[in-house]
Structure 1
Amino acid sequence: MSASLYNIGLTGLNAAQAGLLTTSHNISNAGTTGYSRQSVVQSTNPALFTGAGFFGEGTKVDTVKRAYNGFLSNQVLAAETRFKEYDTYDVEIGQIDNMLADSTVGLTPALESFFGGVQEVAANPSSIPARQSMISTAQSLVARFQNLSERLTDVRAGLESQIKETVGAIGTYAKEIAEMNHKIAVAQQAGSAQPANDLLDTRDQLVKELNQLTRVSTATGSDGSLSVFIGTGQPLVVGTVATTLEAQPSSADPHRFNVNIVTNSGNAITIPESLLGGGRLGGLLAMRSGSLDTAQNQLGLVAVGLATAFNAQHVLGQDLNGNLGTDFFTPPAVAVARYASTSSASPDVQFADITKLTGDDYKLTFTDTTGGYALTRVSDGASVTAASVGLTITPPTTSMVGDSFVILPTRNAAANIGVSISDTRMLAAAAPVTSAATSTNLGTGSISAPVVSSTASLAAFGTAAAPLKLTYSGGNLSGFPAGQPVTYTPLGAAAVTLAAPVASIPYTSGMSIAVGGVSFSMTGAIKDNDTFTVGPNTKGVSDSRNAVLLGNLQTTKVMLAAGGQPSATLQSVYSQLVSAVGNKAREVSVNRDAQESLVDQATTAQQSVAGVNLDEEAANLIRYQQAYQAAGKVMSIASKLFDEVLALGR
């Protein structure tokens, strides 16, 4: 009996010691990140049957388990990966939000200053200082476009660097988790399938840190290994094998990194960005495609709109040398990048109608060998036509089926816009056509200053010495250019168009007339044989008609056609960009704060189960100490009883 009592005391002593060791381990790791509280699981030893019944044989330690709740841990992972995505997005978008909306470095003050210079020329067309000021403000505006574009390019370079670094870190974590799977398998096989708690905690912490880089899902195998998946189920770790993940330059843009799975044969399979949400990587990719691309495209859209609209009006004017105007701004070109091409032939893409440009990017794929192609919008994959998006596309004579190209109409426009004119005399402030009522006219009729919409047919208006002459007789006007159709609009009536040649048109006071790209109006009572001249402008030094029209572009709707008509000014397009970036920045910031609260709640719930409570552990120390002392007392009594038995035999 004393021997049995001794053994029972020994089992109690061992159990209490195991409890003390585990409690001490918990206390030592109270500040260890990712540590889960451990506890001893013990049970009674099988009882000994005797004629008097079953007598207990003490206790045994079954295992040491960790306080782990998979549901709560998964909640923490889900909350943290979303928080990290929003947090990354919030930091990155703040850079461009502050820049675009800044009252000193944004585009708005530069646009206002430039059009102020144009208005100054309109007020003083012969003033050389005013003309120089206009050129200087234009150069400042161009510099502002280029500075903003350069800053966005810097942000993009930073994003690409972070994407590459993050993908590299994901690959490192994958290898570490695969190695940890191997260590856990070896440890648990060596330990009679007992859980390797500390190794399991280490692996869970690696998964948690990986989850902050990209959203992951996990599955535990029958052998205890943990498989890790990213995206929509792409395997990253399976058992002890880690998938190779690399950030490689895009075939369409060498400066843009795609995330690729590299197979054993060395082939790279690109994972679509839409599948890589969550975590730092998700935030970087969302920022790049959702805000940075849009900001750079919209800024370029303003540059294209300004250069195209301003040039279109400037070439309709006349400079101080008496020549027609030339391009004032260097027009940006459409960027075309090869996506997947086996041929050297590329399509020629030009701007056609700036009112239809939206700032979107497009993918062109050849469908036959004679230049047939399909055009889709990159953002949503919708099929479009070149004309509907403001472009003209001229395919090569021969093409390869399947060859693809990415068309970036406005991506680089802000960086490439420039000022083409440096000579103040080349500013086309005047209109090339003038009109006048002959001084010998008997009537009170007058003719307005002509407005030029095209210079293609200016020769039809004669020369300075012999301008076009319109003559009134019997209620009709005659003398129109023989090869030009005429459109006239009586006051309050519908327009009437007559095909060339036009002999005469009926005159009514207040009517407007358009012929040969020139329009004007006529009013008043005209007498027979009264004449009016429309011809080249020989006194354009003090003429500011074209400068006035150039200045009007500041408030004229020239962009974003809606219902067939332009709906936005240059300034409003930029304002929409600032507003869109600002709203997105605010949205991301609000989501970040909300997600941070969810992380705190989920972590609190998880730590209430798995965390170490030092007060509780201190109480356990006392409990196990008392149990240890009590078991020692049992052994002491057993020893004394055994001594008494031996004494009886002496």
Structure 2
Amino acid sequence: MMSSFDSIVGEDSVAVSDYIDNAFSALQTSISDPTDSAARSNAFSNLEQLAAQYNDLAEFISDQKSLANDELSSNVDSINSLTEQIANLNQQIFKAESTAGSSANELRDQQEQLVKELSEYLDVKVSYDDNDLMTVNLASGQPLVLQSSNNELSLTTDSSNPDGEVGIELDFGSYEISIPTDELGGSVGGLIAFRNEFIPSAERMLGQQALVLADTMNEQNKLGLDADGELGINLFSLDSISVSADEGNSDKDSMVDVRLTSGSSSEVTTDTYEVVMLSDTSFKLVTYDLQGNISDESEIIDTSTATPNSDGFYEVDGFGVEVSFDSTASYSRGDSYEFVPTKTAASSIEVSARTGDDFALASPIAVEGSSSNLSDVSISIASITNTDSSSSAFTDSGGLYNAAPQTLYFTASDEVEIQDADGNVLATLSNITDYSNLLEQAGLAEDAGYDISLDGAPTAGDSFSISYNSEGESDNYNGLLLANLQTEATVGGTQSYTEAFSSLVTEVGSLTATLSTNMDSSEIIMNNSIAARDEVSAVSLDEEAVNLLRYQQSYTASAQVLSAAQSTFATLISALG
């Protein structure tokens, strides 16, 4: 199963880093001439290919999860068959040795071979009862074989876990017990570690990168004008976040909705998130790492006093998500709802823009000084932060509301009146010493969604205008900001898109190195034990043989996980290029 990791990416042409470079290189070409429709089309095509590569890698990871499940199921079947055979041999040995002078050495040899096979799957401990019949226990102490009976293992799936973690149960007939997976050893222990730890980690890290790419490019594109002079739209889309209600919730039909906070993807982690109800109206958000340890928790939010946004969602500051509640549902203290924001992002990301014309490369505003100005001071755009018609100066139809800041008239070199389209004074600044971000200084920038700066002190009587950029076909102000996203620290607030991939590779490489060291040590011990075992002539499983079985299972466990890690590492290296 693990060998398929090596074959998913066979050529440099499919490297993720190449797709990122190609997408931004094509974008740079279109930025150099925003009127070139062919360049825009090429940039659009490269963006689609980048999204498709995320999908392909996510599908590959999902396939490995399925293959691990299948192999685990097969291993459990083999274990049950082996323990049944060992138990049957106990019965045959007892009958054979009940006859005076009879020997069951051949049967014991068969039993020894079966235990050796079993030790490849699990860490087992072998002992003998008063009748000299073999007892086989798991490393954690639970019996697999007692005299002529065996207890079967079964593979379980935790449906309440967002990653569908698998586990092992031991069936005692009238009841089952769960076996600690970190004590299983052998190929089963290695596969479960691979399935429950590495696969979810890789899936979430890849998803985090796709999520941040989509969110940051969407938000920046919406701050510009496209080829038709219209405000930008989202370039990418992602599936909605799936939420699971805890089975112990008071109202089985109650549910919460969760979504990403637009523009806050840098706050989203790869953790599992849990909405925990503290009362019928208050909640907090708790995050857990893959080991189940609490990594962070939010302030308490009381929906009876907090103000939601316009569509009823409550933003959880610092976590990058928003939560809404069903007004018809009943919530009680202790109810909880779990989700992983990054889980499906890589598999679901797709380009939602229609054509290359949807790249919003131009600034939505144009600024200029009056031709009658006495000074040579220049005006420039300081920032564009919001183009939403419900919360900024921009209208849906393309333009600025009349009440928006549109003229700066200097009554003195250090005093300015900021006026709307009708000449009404919105604010006055006096004793100006810093000519940057003048709208922010006047308290108008947040509502306007834009700000401007001057490169010096004007002369009294100078004026500067701000208008909708209706003739900005050749403008590339916002395109340059889109291109800058390639190298900005957006993933987790610390890494660029490509650096985040490198972190994923580093994590796999670290695991590989650790397992390689463990495997080498196990191999040395195993080989020494084999040599010692060869000097023992008895056919029964004496102390040396039992030790050998333990070393063999340790070596096999390391080899299983190492094989998976090395294959994954090779795949990710290829995917990075």
TM-score range for the pair, normalised by the shorter chain length: 0.7 to 0.9
d(CA) in 2 for partners of 1:607, 1:452: 78
| TM-score for the superposition, normalised by structure 2 | 0.78
Find out whether 1:382 has 2:293 as its counterpart: yes
d(CA) in 2 for partners of 1:506, 1:446: 19
Offset of 1:426 from its aligned partner? 2.3
Show the counterpart of 1:458: 393
Q: Is the 8 A contact 1:464 1:536 kept in 2?
A: no
- Which amino acid in structure 1 is aligned with residue 433 of structure 2? T
- Which amino acid in structure 2 is aligned with residue 417 of structure 1? I
Show the counterpart of 1:84: none
Show the counterpart of 1:348: 257
d(CA) in 2 for partners of 1:502, 1:467: 9
Show the counterpart of 1:592: 519
| TM-score for the superposition, normalised by structure 1 | 0.70
Alignment of 1:400-479 (within 5 A): 405-455=337-387, 456-459=391-394, 462=400, 468-479=406-417
Offset of 1:222 from its aligned partner? 1.5
d(CA) in 2 for partners of 1:320, 1:309: 20
Show the counterpart of 2:458: 526
Q: Is the 8 A contact 1:366 1:399 kept in 2?
A: yes
Larger radius of gyration: 1
Q: Is the 8 A contact 2:126 2:135 kept in 1?
A: yes
Find out whether 1:162 has 2:87 as its counterpart: no
d(CA) in 2 for partners of 1:323, 1:400: 47
Q: Which SS does the other structure have where 2:473 is aligned?
A: helix
Show the counterpart of 2:58: 149
- Which amino acid in structure 2 is aligned with residue 361 of structure 1? T
d(CA) in 1 for partners of 2:355, 2:229: 14
Show the counterpart of 1:261: 170
Q: Which SS does the other structure have where 1:306 is aligned?
A: helix
Show the counterpart of 1:81: none
Show the counterpart of 2:428: 503
Q: Is the 8 A contact 1:100 1:107 kept in 2?
A: no
Offset of 1:458 from its aligned partner? 1.9
d(CA) in 2 for partners of 1:381, 1:285: 16
d(CA) in 2 for partners of 1:205, 1:145: 46
Aligned to 1:283, which of 190, 212, 219? 190
Q: Is the 8 A contact 2:362 2:479 kept in 1?
A: yes
Q: Is the 8 A contact 1:171 1:244 kept in 2?
A: yes
- Which amino acid in structure 2 is aligned with residue 227 of structure 1? T
d(CA) in 2 for partners of 1:281, 1:403: 35
Q: Which SS does the other structure have where 1:558 is aligned?
A: coil
Alignment of 1:204-243 (within 5 A): 204-243=112-151
String of CA shifts for 1:614-642, please: whole Å, max 9, x gaps: xxxxxxxxxxxxxxxxxxxxxxxxxxxxx
String of CA shifts for 1:97-120, please: whole Å, max 9, x gaps: 775796332311101111112211
Q: Which SS does the other structure have where 2:368 is aligned?
A: strand
Q: Is the 8 A contact 1:371 1:395 kept in 2?
A: no
Show the counterpart of 2:225: 318
Find out whether 1:544 has 2:476 as its counterpart: yes
d(CA) in 2 for partners of 1:589, 1:296: 23
Q: Point out the structure with the larger helix share.
A: 1
d(CA) in 2 for partners of 1:299, 1:505: 51
- Which amino acid in structure 1 is aligned with residue 293 of structure 2? A
String of CA shifts for 1:277-314, please: whole Å, max 9, x gaps: x2111111122233222211111111001001111111
Q: Mean alpha-carbon deviation: is it higher for 592-601 or for 255-264?
A: 255-264
- Which amino acid in structure 2 is aligned with residue 567 of structure 1? T
Listed as ranges, the gaps of 5+ residues in structure 1 are 1-90, 483-499, 561-565, 613-650
- Which amino acid in structure 1 is aligned with residue 146 of structure 2? V
Q: Which SS does the other structure have where 2:536 is aligned?
A: helix
Alignment of 1:109-120 (within 5 A): 109-120=18-29
Offset of 1:567 from its aligned partner? 1.3
After superposition, the Cα gap between the structure-2 partners of 1:166 and 1:351, relative to the gap in structure 1 and judged at 3 Å, is same
Q: Is the 8 A contact 1:99 1:105 kept in 2?
A: no
Q: How much identity, in percent, do the aligned residues show?
A: 26
String of CA shifts for 1:41-72, please: whole Å, max 9, x gaps: xxxxxxxxxxxxxxxxxxxxxxxxxxxxxxxx
Q: Mean alpha-carbon deviation: is it higher for 462-471 or for 170-179?
A: 462-471
String of CA shifts for 1:463-503, please: whole Å, max 9, x gaps: 59997101112343433368xxxxxxxxxxxxxxxxx9743
Offset of 1:373 from its aligned partner? 6.4
Count of aligned pairs between the two proteins: 496
d(CA) in 1 for partners of 2:415, 2:176: 75
d(CA) in 2 for partners of 1:202, 1:366: 58
d(CA) in 2 for partners of 1:324, 1:400: 44
Q: Is the 8 A contact 1:260 1:270 kept in 2?
A: yes
- Which amino acid in structure 2 is aligned with residue 470 of structure 1? L
Aligned-residue RMSD, C-alpha? 3.1
d(CA) in 1 for partners of 2:176, 2:451: 62
Listed as ranges, the gaps of 5+ residues in structure 2 are 299-316, 540-577
String of CA shifts for 1:367-411, please: whole Å, max 9, x gaps: 666674673514232233255543334455424676665422212
Q: Which SS does the other structure have where 1:609 is aligned?
A: coil
Q: Which SS does the other structure have where 2:293 is aligned?
A: coil
Q: Is the 8 A contact 1:370 1:398 kept in 2?
A: no
Q: Is the 8 A contact 2:232 2:360 kept in 1?
A: yes
d(CA) in 2 for partners of 1:533, 1:418: 39
